[in-house]
Amino acid sequence: MADQIDYELRGDDFQAVLITLDSGESVRAEPGAMMWMEDGIEMDTSTGGGLMSGLKRKIAGESFFITSFTNNSNSRSVVGFAADYPGKILPVDLARGSILCQRDAYLCSAHGIEVTMAFSKRLGAGFFGGEGFILQKLTGQGLAFIHAGGHIIERDLQQGERLRIDTGCIVGFEESVDYNIEMVKGVKTMLFGGEGLFMATLRGPGKCWVQTTPFSRFANRVLSAAGGSTGQHKRGGGILGQFLQGD
């Protein structure tokens, strides 16, 4: 039976998740994600299953260690988690099956959820996709909470339905969804379109989640504005524009 946890999302652009634990109940979280916890909750940091478990998480973009929070009191207690950059928190029920997501998406989960690495099915997707050759794979029974930049949009793709997405905007997708990378058509579009050389292609059936503001894009804009040049305050026209601006 799935481990159903009681939670509440707080905030808008800087969201947090508050999880209420019954006596003896536990949740796991990425180290550093905890905001606060009430009396009775105890922390325990470990590899979560031995050396190989820690290594798999590290390769998947998470910490080598994982922290468990257990309510050792006789009453219900609350622990809160938040990510380290602006965005939304998405609760995902893994009862439908495993999901693949970007490398730093995992925030916290029910105790039985495992975070491991997953290689992309196709070589092209691995070398050229914004999510990289290695993705995070979340497996188990219960809820997992993933974090993404900006707003999260959910799409439920039907059998054979195809969606082309900017590689950096993918948050995650169900394992049933086919993931590949295709090159943008047209030389002018490649150089001046501002979207890069490649796009991700997701083909149903299954759910996928898209983020409006990937952290890498947000960070690049902040660095560009901090450069002090007026020209750097505007988004460059693709690869050529970025080269001319010195990005």
The more confidently predicted of residues 219 and 69 is 69
Mean pLDDT for 125-139 is 64
Going by CATH, does the domain composed of 6-218 fall within 3.30.360.10? Answer: no
Q: How far apart are CA 87 and CA 77, in angstroms?
A: 26
Alpha helices in the chain (DSSP H): 51-59, 123-128, 187-192, 215-225, 238-245
Token look-up 């006596």 returns: 23
Mean pLDDT value across residues 190-201: 60
Between 30 and 207, where is the model more confident? 207
Task: Domain ranges for the chain, please list them.
Answer: 6-218
pTM here is 0.76
